[in-house]
Structure 1
Amino acid sequence: MTLVDQLVNWACLRIDERVFRPGVRMPSIRALAQERGISRFTVVEAYDRLVAQGYLESRRGSGFYVRARPALPVQAQSVLPDNRNIDVVWLLRSMHHTVSPERGPGLGYLPPSWLDGDLLSGALRSLGRQNGAQLLGNGTPQGFLPLRQQLQLHLAELEIGAQPEQIVMTSGVTQALDFILRLHVQPGDTVLVGDPSWFVMFGRIVAQGARAIGVPYTLEGPDMTALEALVQAHRPKLLILNSILHNPTGTSLSAARAFQILRLAEQYDFLVVEDDIYCDLCPPGLAVTRLASLDQLKRVFYLGSYSKSLASNLRTGFIACAPEQAKTIADHKMLIGSPTPEINERLLYRVLTEGHYRKHTERLRTRLDTVRDKAHRALERIGIRALVAPPAGMFLWVDTGVDTNVLAAAGHEDGFLLAPGSLFSPTQAPSTWMRFNVACSGENPAVLDFLARQIERAA
């Protein structure tokens, strides 16, 4: 963008987020030009554009002032948080709207610059050369059969035996979890989740009228003493876990812990949902244990997706489970809507079968290894310690020593997106911990400088 474009975008963002409120006088042309090291003509042109777009009004002899604008629709607003109203909706809105990856250690995905657009565009061109009539059908409830056959091969590499009829395609892991909750959880039921764990599912559980109860997490997975006590007390319907590269801690289940979980599930008759969305960020040689490989889909629902490794808007995921469960889910999928878009599934099938996807994920893992170590050391230098130095993945779970709700609010004012620890607990209690995405901000000194200043100020 030109300097004028950059200045206009900077001002619009601050005004939309109400950092610059209606009636506030903008910096003078001379002051802003000096501060930014640009010419006064650039500032004048930017201010004139902002006046034309309705953001500013010019008062002769006085300067430029922020103009009161009609309220935005609720779904488009970006509300400035404070340490009382940090919430999941705010974080999700900010992830999708306001923050560039290099200023977003709280983001939950890889930067677009890391991903391979040519991989997708090549698959799209290949798909476009097919007979167009093949793209006009309704699709099937379980999803595109050749893709499910390809996923069967993928699961076999993970030592999970699944026939194509045991795999149901979904619009991402979130929809997969929705299907399972709708079919197996009733109002008043209990669902156990990790504490900390992926925050989006808390709202999904509550929407079913159920209770989400957190199980304390250790470096090897759930604390088994606490888990057994909670199972005995609440008799849950489901236990939901990230088994590999757990979000947010980056840890993975040990083999012993996986066996213990399955033993409890059988003893107390509850089902286990294994979310393995970070599967392809885990090196093939890393010693990890998946619950589905031990259970062979008798009691475990195994969820996967390619949104983290290909593109966040490629909403194509899947559930692998017992045959009778898969049939029930496919029937339910038809009742609440229609088959998932087969064009997306055909596109994913092309990506997975044209031979370049494995090298792409190898490059991602190598790059993550480089920035993860650097970010870990840099955070330690400013007094932020990580729970563990994970051997793979994009997240560090770090203790800042201060209330990260306050950090997140301060970061919002300065244009940074942080993910405070309170969001990752079903209790939403204030926390000194936060999730740090090494891919988005691990090499940005501005993020580290901001954190160092805020921590020093709090001390």
Structure 2
Amino acid sequence: MAKLQREPLQLDLQRNTAARLVEQVADGLALLIERGELRSGERLPSVRQLAESHGIGASTVVEAYEQLVARGMLLARRGAGFFVAARAGQSGARAVFMPHEPVIDSAWLLSEMFADERVPIKAGCGWLPGKWLNDEGLHQAERRIIRSPGAQQVGYGHPFGYAPLRQLIAQFLGHWSLDVAIDQVLTTHGATQGLDLVIRTMTQPGDTVMIDDPGYCNLIAMLRLAGLNVIGVSRTPGGVDTDMLETLARAHQPKMFFTTSVLQNPTGTSYTPACAMRVLQAAERHGFWVVEDDIFRELGQATDPMLAALDGLQRVIYVGSYSKTIAPSLRVGYVACQRELARQIVHTKMVLTLTNSEINERLVHNVLTEGHHRRHVQTLNATLLNAQSTLNAKLADAGLAPFTAARGGMFTWATLEGSGLPAREIADRARQKGIWLAPGDFFHLGAPEKASFRFNVGYADVPELFDFFRSL
């Protein structure tokens, strides 16, 4: 019996659209495979045949075929051509991933929250809405990267980081009266890696360190993972409790104090000038380092003190980042410190991770120099301040007490009075209603006395959240 011949493939290709022909060919073939019109194991037309039948270039077909190989829909066999790959479920039962019910605890906050799409209202998350970021500036920077010579896009880069970006960082710090040379600045994979490199370089298991309480939950986990004795210093609306800091420093002789001077996570508070001076005086008296985690500096006010500038990097190590004003996915941060200490931290960095992604660092440099970043930050600051003011008023109306008056930034910290329920239980009830809360337990070293929560001003202004708290 004669074998039936398949009709030639017909793909609907549009020449006068924004979609590239490569994507049209790849998507058209993928649709035929999904419909079963191209069956598992079937050989596709040769590159030349498909190109001639559709009046397109052979390179277009090759690229489309390779895209489908990368997607796992085609197999490439040397000398034989391209074949439809077996789909899941054809050779056995389809494997179905059933994610477990989330438990709102610190482990979920640290490892799963970024990918968990089952909780639609992310009132407690730690990132800004994409529409509030400078997407056009980032796209322009990406186009400049694409047009740059290939030699600039390969290789490991410099151990200290991309020099033009480090020079911009030095200039930025100079605007805050911190005179720093380029060899005192090193780039990191976000501020979190910067903190980790400082910890690994300057502490040993068993050392005592102090931190803000409540404070950054990732930092608490890092310090405990390093085997350090961690002591909390109470956060106040004007910075930290400096009397408590003095007492603890005298009693425990800590190696370091990790603190956030501007728009702290989770409380949204900033140091007053008086608080900043007292912290630096205590560091001088008791001989401890101050690590200033200052990733929200651009979102703060011009009068907010910078510990590193007041100290001249004598006892302060400065950590910054671009995740809040450009894009968190770029993971570009930096450390500024004494020259010799910078060399030690770079050595730790190279041992652990080699260099950072120079492409990402070039992207950040392009965003900072393309001319729109300053205006974007000004607009973002106004948006955040307005959102925080509105949110604080609505939280108060729903029975919560904000920790401070609105002064900008991403976060509001508020306490629920009189419910009698622990924050974890409240957060679990909220999750069942599709609301993700960040309870205060995550940010305290010990069990907090009151049910407090961190709210993200970009996500928390929704009626369901306020109705939920009223129901308690």
Bucket of the pairwise TM-score, normalised by the shorter protein? 0.7 to 0.9
Distance 1:368 1:140 in 2: 36
Partner of 2:322: 306
Percentage of identical aligned residues: 37
* Residue 377 of structure 1 pairs with residue 396 of structure 2: no
Bigger Rg, which one? 2
| Displacement after TM superposition at 1:101 (Å) | 9.2
| Displacement after TM superposition at 1:166 (Å) | 0.3
The one-letter amino acid of 1:316's match is V
Per-residue CA deviation, residues 267-322 of structure 1 (Å, 9 max, x unaligned), is 111101001111121144xx211100100111111110011111121100000001
Distance 2:213 2:274 in 1: 20
> Which of the numbers 365, 380, 402 marks the counterpart of 1:364?
380
| Displacement after TM superposition at 1:342 (Å) | 0.6
> Which of the numbers 452, 457, 465 marks the counterpart of 1:433?
452
The one-letter amino acid of 1:434's match is F
1:165-184, aligned counterparts within 5 Å? 165-184=183-202
TM value normalised by structure 2: 0.77
1:33-182, aligned counterparts within 5 Å? 77=99, 79-81=101-103, 86-99=104-117, 103-182=121-200
Distance 2:235 2:351 in 1: 37
> Which of the numbers 250, 253, 259 marks the counterpart of 1:241?
259
Q: Whose helix fraction is larger, Structure 1's or Structure 2's?
A: 1
* Residue 416 of structure 1 pairs with residue 435 of structure 2: yes
> Which of the numbers 334, 339, 352 marks the counterpart of 2:368?
352
Per-residue CA deviation, residues 355-379 of structure 1 (Å, 9 max, x unaligned), is 1111111111111122111111111
Partner of 2:242: 224
Partner of 1:387: 403
> Which of the numbers 222, 225, 231 marks the counterpart of 1:204?
222
TM value normalised by structure 1: 0.79
Distance 1:288 1:102 in 2: 35
Q: Are the counterparts in 1 of residues 119 and 435 from structure 2 also a CA contact under 8 Å?
A: no
Distance 1:416 1:211 in 2: 35
Partner of 1:449: 467
Partner of 2:354: 338
Q: Are the counterparts in 2 of residues 101 and 111 from structure 1 also a CA contact under 8 Å?
A: no
Q: Are the counterparts in 1 of residues 209 and 229 from structure 2 also a CA contact under 8 Å?
A: yes
Q: Are the counterparts in 2 of residues 104 and 416 from structure 1 also a CA contact under 8 Å?
A: yes
Per-residue CA deviation, residues 414-454 of structure 1 (Å, 9 max, x unaligned), is 11110001111011446411111111122x1122112221x
Q: Are the counterparts in 2 of residues 88 and 200 from structure 1 also a CA contact under 8 Å?
A: no
Q: Are the counterparts in 2 of residues 247 and 395 from structure 1 also a CA contact under 8 Å?
A: yes
Q: Are the counterparts in 1 of residues 161 and 187 from structure 2 also a CA contact under 8 Å?
A: yes
Partner of 1:190: 208
Partner of 1:289: 305
* Residue 274 of structure 1 pairs with residue 292 of structure 2: yes
Unaligned runs of 5+ in 2: 1-87
Backbone CA RMSD of aligned residues:
2.2
Unaligned runs of 5+ in 1: 1-52, 55-67
Distance 2:408 2:431 in 1: 28
| Displacement after TM superposition at 1:226 (Å) | 1.1
Helix, strand or coil: the match of 1:440? coil
Q: Are the counterparts in 2 of residues 405 and 431 from structure 1 also a CA contact under 8 Å?
A: no
Helix, strand or coil: the match of 1:139? coil
Q: Are the counterparts in 2 of residues 78 and 94 from structure 1 also a CA contact under 8 Å?
A: no
